[in-house]
Structure 1
Amino acid sequence: MIIKEAKYLDRLGFTIPETALQIALQEDKFHAYQRDLSLKLSQYDSLISRIAPVESDLLTRQVAILQRTLRSGFTPLNWNSQRVPAFIEAVQKALNEFSGVVSQIQKSAAMISNVVTSIKDTVLFQPADLKRDPRTKKPVLIDVGAFYESVEATKTARLNDLSQQYKSIEPLLKKVEEVVASTASSASPLLANYYRYWEKRLCNAIVEMVSTSLATFREMLTHEDCAPFCRASCLLGGRDVVVTPTAADVNKYLTKCIRGLSEAAKTFPRWKRGTCLECPPIDVGEDEEPFVFSYHQDVSKNPHVMKLKDDLTSYVKQLTDESGSIQKYKASWEVYDGLWDEAARRELDKLSDEPRGVVYFDAKLETYAGLANDALSRPRTTNVDFLQIDCADVAKGVAKQALQWRDQYGKVLRDVSFEKMTQLVDSWDAWRRDIDGTTCDSIETLMFVLNTIQKVVDASVTQR
């Protein structure tokens, strides 16, 4: 205001007091101070706005030191002396120190956040992990046991990598402690809330990792667009169809996969209360594994994780129990059980003593030939969700059994027909001899010949 009024009075031709004149002549210095002070306040506001709420507790002492430096500017300073430049320099130094502390904390926080993100984004096993045929791009079929080993190996490798990243968090938090508390104990009371903050972040990330892995595994097993990646085969044992591996083995391996994915949180030990130090294993007995207090205790109680695990367990039960999909497929072959019927065998054995007509045998031959063709015309493989079942051996076995029945009925027909033909030939020979050796010179001989001819006619009608 003094500078502005002095300039206006000078323009109007008034004499300016010496003091006011000296002040007016230092306008550039005044504006330079003003710009510097405004810049420092802007830097202060920018630094404070960069601080996350969880970092505020860590920086209480540093913020107090900075504000104490700024507060000295609330009292009048002689800007015509060196006090203002000294104040500006002190503020800049305090801002630089505070900025350095904030940068170190946030650099460590960014590195910890990267670990959290790595955990959150990890899928412990997914379709891309399946070995694929380079030509068809479809999964290479493997046994269920080999699939379990593949899941276990892939999951273990990824968890080992995440475990190493998880262990890197404690040194990073120790650096933060050194900056804000000037200690390196990994158990600073000043960082208690900060430790809890990262524990919550880690817990949420592990929950997401486990739930995503379980959901992906469920989709792999059940989604209609997923190509089968495990093989099974059907074998014929008598009239029984046997699926290898058995439903019990499928249940065992899938249950182990589900348990392994849902218990992945055991890889990450919890920290001791108020610290970032991992809880040590606790011996609970000679024959038992040491207990490790980990995130599994919390993750396993998460409703979403519990539902996914229950859904998968229910699916495995529906697939492998007595009324499950595998059993239903086996039951579809029961239509051929009659090929092993002992009653049919006894009926066949009676045909030699109780011969039937040609129509009966023709129906039997056609029926068994049709059963053989029907079995062989079935698809060689059948998909039951993620399983591809090869039923070629069963189809061949059923067809072989049906053709054996056809051949046996054909043999009976041939034997019966041959016997009847032999009897008929013998009769015809006898009748021919009777006719050829008889002279019709009397009524009696004529009647004998006519009766013989009638026998031939009757025999011809009977054979038709």
Structure 2
Amino acid sequence: HSIYTYWEHEIFTCLVELVIRNLCQFYENIFGTTSLFIVDVILAPPHIKLQPPLEEIINSIRRSAHGISQLPKHFIRWLHGTCISCPVIPVLDENLQSPDLTFNNDVKQHPDVISTLKPVRSYASRLVNGINQILTQLLTYNDLWKNDKQKYTSRFALKSRTYFDYDEIMKVFFKINQTFDRYLINKNIYSIELCFKQFYQALKYHCNEWINHYGQHLYNKISNKLKEIDDILNNLYQNLNHDTDTVPDLKFVLNIITQINQQQELIGHQIHDIIQSYQILNQYHFEYPYTESILIQTLFPRLIELVEQYVIVQQVQLNVETMF
């Protein structure tokens, strides 16, 4: 009987030490900096989500700690006063569980085991707080994906905006886009490695979408202005070379000369705005027809040619007026 008592106590003590030692090693791993879990931070508008979910990881950690505490289940106790393992007792009623004849119940009630299991709750709480702090920081960018891009950019375009205004607002999103290239792709919180690659890719996509929406409004405005200036230059040049065989024709040409004299500075400013606007579109890689790019290059040369022609025609008309 004394041998039975001695070994019963020795086995129990060893099992308590086994559970505590394994739990301590487990905590050393999950509280360490070596990645045990990789979690993707993904943008699923309007929310930021973790994949796999944080609850799933915490439950996995709890199950692991619980599994370690259940190790004594594998050690069957001896019949009292003997070295013979307790036999399995069959249970006829399906609703009843067979009695636990292992060291498990006694080991898990040991004060040292109970206190060693407590850090699991603390770990879960600290992990949730740490990740929530990071997600809260990421939510500062939520306007990028929450706001209606078409609505906001259309409201912006309704006011009288210059190419400089568009450049300034597009530059904001361009700089935000660039900041994501400098951010860490991965960040460790204890043994959890957060991977931000997909999240940053989604934010860069939304930044580009904002730039494209503003760029579309600028393009719609400036392409119409390009066509308008092209028509004005064509009409002025054509009318400047109108026949002056009759007095009405002469008056018509003189009127065109007056228009050119009055409008050439304004047309020059408008051409400058058009060129600057298209340069901004190029800067942000906004695509538009190649024919417009060619047309833009002709504007200033055509204006210069028009002014030179107007000076020549004006001199000719002055001579004609003198004759009349």
Q: CA deviation at 1:289?
A: 3.7
- Out of 116, 119, 123, the position equivalent to 1:308 is 116
Question: Which is worse superposed, 372-381 or 255-264?
Answer: 372-381
Structure 1 residue aligned with 2:16, among 198, 201, 207?
A: 207
1:337 maps to 2:142: yes
Give per-residue Cα distances to partners, 1:99-158, cap 9 Å, x unaligned: xxxxxxxxxxxxxxxxxxxxxxxxxxxxxxxxxxxxxxxxxxxxxxxxxxxxxxxxxxxx
**DSSP-derived class of the 2:194 partner:** strand
1:34-433 matched pairs, under 5 angstroms: 191=1, 193-224=2-33, 227-282=34-89, 283=91, 285-319=93-127, 323-351=128-156, 353-428=158-233
Q: Distance in 2 between matches of 1:277 and 1:447?
A: 123
Please give the alpha-carbon distance, in whole angstroms, between the structure 1 residues aligned to 2:266 and 2:194.
59
Separation in 2, partners of 1:252, 1:239: 26
1:378-436: CA deviation from partner (whole Å, max 9, x where unpaired)? 22322232222333222222212211222232222122112123334444555667777
**1:341–1:235: structure 2 CA closer, same or farther, 3 Å change rule?**
closer
**C-alpha distance in structure 2 between counterparts of 1:428 and 1:409, whole Å:** 29
Alignment partner, residue 308 of structure 2: none
Change (3 A) 1:301 1:204: same
Q: Distance in 2 between matches of 1:382 and 1:375?
A: 14
Provide Cα deviations, 1:29-62, integer angstroms capped at 9, x if missing partner. xxxxxxxxxxxxxxxxxxxxxxxxxxxxxxxxxx
The one-letter code of the counterpart of 1:404 is E
Secondary structure of the 1:324 match is helix
Could you say if the C-alpha distance between residues 239 and 355 of structure 1 is closer, same or farther in structure 2, counting changes exceeding 3 Å?
farther
* SS of residue paired to 1:423: helix
- Give the Cα–Cα distance (whole angstroms) in 1 for the partners of residues 76 and 133 of structure 2: 45
Q: Name the SS for the 2:99 alignment partner.
A: coil
Q: Indicate conservation of the 8 Å contact 2:38/2:192, yes or no.
A: yes
Q: How many residues align?
A: 266
Q: State the secondary structure of the residue aligned to 2:76.
A: coil
Contact 2:150 2:213 in 1 (8 A): no
Answer whether contact 2:16 2:107 (CA < 8 A) is retained. Answer: yes
Cα pair distance change 1:274/1:385, threshold 3 Å: same
CA shift, 1:353, in A, is 4.3
Q: Any gaps of 5 or more consecutive residues in structure 2?
A: 248-252, 274-324
Please, which runs of 5 or more residues in structure 1 have no aligned partner? 1-190, 440-444
Contact preservation (8 Å) 2:236, 2:256: no
Question: 2:104 is matched by which residue type in structure 1?
Answer: H
Render the CA deviation track for 1:255-300: whole Å, top value 9, x for unaligned.
1111110111122233344444434445494145412133222221
Alpha-carbon contact 1:228-1:388 (below 8 Å) kept: yes
Q: Cα offset for 1:458?
A: 4.7
Shift of 1:305: 1.2
**2:282 corresponds to:** none
Q: CA contact under 8 A between 1:431 and 1:456: conserved in structure 2?
A: no
Match of 2:292 in 1: none
Q: Are the aligned partners of 1:258 and 1:309 in contact in 2 as well (CA < 8 Å)?
A: yes
SS of residue paired to 2:118: helix
Amino acid in structure 2 at the alignment position of 1:298: D
Whole-Å separation in 2 of the counterparts to 1:347 and 1:216 = 55
Whether the aligned pair in 1 keeps the contact of 2:40 and 2:196 (CA below 8 Å) is: yes
Please list the CA deviations of residues 303-333 of structure 1 after superposition, one character each: whole Å capped at 9, or x if unmatched: 22111211123313442xxx43344444443
Cα gap change, 1:278/1:413 in structure 2, threshold over 3 Å: closer, same or farther?
A: same
Task: Specify which structure has the bigger relative contact order, considering alpha-carbon pairs within 8 angstroms and separated by 6 or more residues.
Answer: 2
Residue type of the alignment partner of 2:99:
F
Aligned partner of 2:55: which letter?
Answer: A
